Chain A
Amino acid sequence: MRELFIQVVYLAASVLFILGLRSLTRPDLARRGMQQAALGMVLAIAGTLVNHTIVDYRWIAAGLVIGAVIGYPMGQWVPMTAMPQRIALSLGFSALAATLVGVAEYYTEMHDGNVVATAKMAALGFEVLLGSITVAGTLVAAGKLQEVLPSKPITFPLQNLANALLFLVILVMFGWLIAHPAAQVLFYSLLGLAFVFGVLLVIPIGGADMPVVVALLNSYSGLAACATGFAIGNVILIVCGALDGASGFILSILMSKAMNRSFSNVLFGAFGSAPAAKGGKTSEGLTVRSISVEDAAIQLAYAQLVIVIPGYGMAVAQAQHAVREMAEQIEKRGGEVKYAIHPVAGRMPGHMNVLLAEANIPYDKLYDMDEINSEFERADIALVIGANDVVNPAARTDPTSPIYGMPILDADKARTIIVMKRSMGAGFAGIENELFYDAKTSMLFGDAKGSLTALVGEIKNV
């Protein structure tokens, strides 16, 4: 009877989770849908608490309270600009929980002197393997995003070979462990080596490639939860892990497409390590035209259609509110402002959308790359704020460029282009951007937030 109750509750929770995720297809329904998913979570927890194997509630109560105390500030107080590292860190938390459950289960089996069935050992091994890789990977990723660790790729000679060898060793150990589940030393070494592998996997990856990594780690942590479900025979863990894994998988594919990297490249995590072959074009002999705030303001004030292209630079300068103020001024004068969002702009999938939404910019003005690209031709101004590689025409024209083939925003097709940039440094990929040298382009140098605030004042005076 009790078991039936638990299973019914789990089923209800699974349905609520799927409905919650489905609600995310519509921004106006999403909030309510996710509240229902939260209700599903409460149900699932309540259902688990009546499980007959739970005999002692003291540690559970303490854990729930401490977890809630840690979780509340992570949910309520973390600023939106810190979202990528916050998400990375919490992916690590869920992977850690899955790993620890796996270790506890294995320890208990060994402690009781049981013989672990092959299938269960495979699930347990898979769980701690993926879990440990994810914990290490997310910690490094979060460190890079928070810039506690250098966000530039960390490389050493024979890196790929070393990683491949380590991966091979891990696979062999994993196979051996399934055949000999009682080899405890092997189990714990596997745990440690997987952690090392997770670190090695992410350190060669630079900041701009982070959206792919975060999505991929999301998928890994989902699969780790899934394996937990297999190992302890719990169906709701399998369902949620599969949902999580599918989500990470889809996002990884989307991100890799948007960066023109092959899927296998993403799957094996070997991205970012390819040495950036220098593009054929250099800046020698080319000049840039800079523009004053006053002149830029006049152009913007009389523009019919302005397309704003935000990039990571906008996030760094925290300029999203200033962007909205500028857009309001242009709109007040009868112009139209749209926002073109490249899938990999920023440090995680959807990063720019969240920042702009935070600044109260309505979401129906935010356009995906495919929706907006045809509109650049009739745009008076493409305003590039802290974006670089995603508007580099070399991706279309220069086969020697490392980003050749990557889909880009067609900013160069607008009538004029204003690029807001701190200085003339190359983009993250270390490539010159010929857009900056285009005859139609003017550079507005300076801190994005400061320039925008000055623009707002000037547009008012035009």
Chain B
Amino acid sequence: MMMLELYVFVLAAFTGYMVISRVPPLLHTPLMAATNAISGISLVGSLIAAGARHSNVATVLGFIAVVCATSNIVGGFLITDRMLKMFQRGKPKPADRVTGALDDA
């Protein structure tokens, strides 16, 4: 029946659990944004529904699904990147020290 699919599901869920449980709380919001972007993969199903020309209804539904999934992919990856860019380590850079000293003076 769907044994192969079940295998894939169980192994992927297991892998996901192992990998994601090690993500620190620090990055939980980027994690949600990232999984959200990846869930845009439903675009794969949407593309087939929109392009297979089964019936007008299927095409229109597929089209809306393509719009939703694409906006998730584009928006999701962009926002994840934007957030991750903000997370900076605090080791004092030499340049900061200099300006800090000047401010004090």
Asked if A101 meets B78 with Cβ closer than 8 Å, knowing A24-B31, A107-B55, A239-B8, the reply is: no
Name the residue on B nearest A356 (C-beta). B86
Q: Assess whether A27 is interfacial by the CB under 8 Å rule.
A: yes
Interchain CA distance A93-B100 in the complex, whole Å: 46
Q: Which of B25, B39, B49, B82 contacts A225 (CB 8 A)?
A: B39
Which of chain A's residues has its CB closest to B27's CB? A24
Assess the B17–A348 pair: CB atoms within 8 A: no
B65, A104: Cβ atoms closer than 8 Å:
yes
Bound-state CA distance A361–B36 (Å) is 26
In whole angstroms, how far apart are the Cα atoms of A105 and B21 in the complex?
34
Q: A27-B26, A230-B5, A354-B83 are in contact. Are A22 and B19 (CB under 8 A)?
A: yes
A225 to B16, CA, bound (A): 15
In the complex, chain B residues whose CB is within 8 Å of the CB of A286: none
**Per a CB cutoff under 8 Å, which of B9, B25, B64, B90 touches A343?**
B25
- Chain B residues in 8 Å Cβ range of A105: 49, 58
Minimum CB–CB distance from B40 to chain A (whole Å) comes to 6
- B residues less than 8 Å from A246 (CB atoms): 13, 16-17, 20
B36 touches A34 (CB 8 A): no
A182 to B23, CA, bound (A): 45
* Chain A minimum-CB-distance residue to B50: A59
Main secondary structure of the interface of B (DSSP, over half): helix
Q: Which residue of B lies closest to A45 (CB)?
A: B43
Complex Cα gap A251–B15 (Å) = 16
How many chain A residues touch the partner (CB < 8 A)? 115
Judge whether A362 is part of the interface by a CB distance below 8 angstroms: yes
Binds B, one of A65-73, A290-298, A438-446: A65-73
Bound: A244/B32 CA distance, A:
9
**B35→A51 contact, CB < 8 A:** no
Q: How far is the CA of A368 from the CA of B26 in the complex (A)?
A: 8
Q: Does A284 contact B (CB under 8 A)?
A: no
Q: Convert B75-99 into 0s and 1s, putting 1 for each residue whose CB lies closer than 8 angstroms to a CB of A.
A: 1111111111111111100000000
For window 7-59 of A, CB contacts with B under 8 Å fall at: 14, 17-18, 20-22, 24-25, 27-28, 30-31, 34-35, 37-38, 41, 44-45, 48-49, 51, 53-57, 59
* Cα of A119 to Cα of B13 in the assembled complex, Å: 20
Given A225-B41, A348-B29, the answer on whether A25 and B22 have CB atoms closer than 8 Å is: yes
**Is A303 interfacial (CB 8 A cutoff)?**
no
Q: Collect the chain B residues with CB atoms within 8 Å of residue A44's CB.
A: 41, 44
0/1 string, A87-119, CB within 8 A of B gives 1: 100110110111011011101100110000001
Among the 9-residue stretches A214-222, A268-276, A419-427, the one with 4 or more Cβ atoms under 8 Å from chain B is: A214-222
Q: Which 3 A-B pairs have the closest CB atoms?
A: A67-B70, A362-B90, A75-B78
Q: Knowing that A21-B34, A68-B70, A234-B45 are A-B contacts, what are 4 other residue pairs whose CB atoms are under 8 Å apart, sorted by A's residue number? A: A27-B84, A68-B74, A71-B70, A349-B29
CB<8 Å pairs between A and B, sample of 11:
A24-B31, A25-B27, A31-B85, A37-B38, A45-B44, A97-B72, A238-B12, A243-B35, A246-B20, A250-B20, A362-B89
Chain B positions within 8 Å of A, measured between CB atoms, are 1-2, 4-5, 8-9, 12-13, 15-17, 19-55, 57-91, 100, 103-104
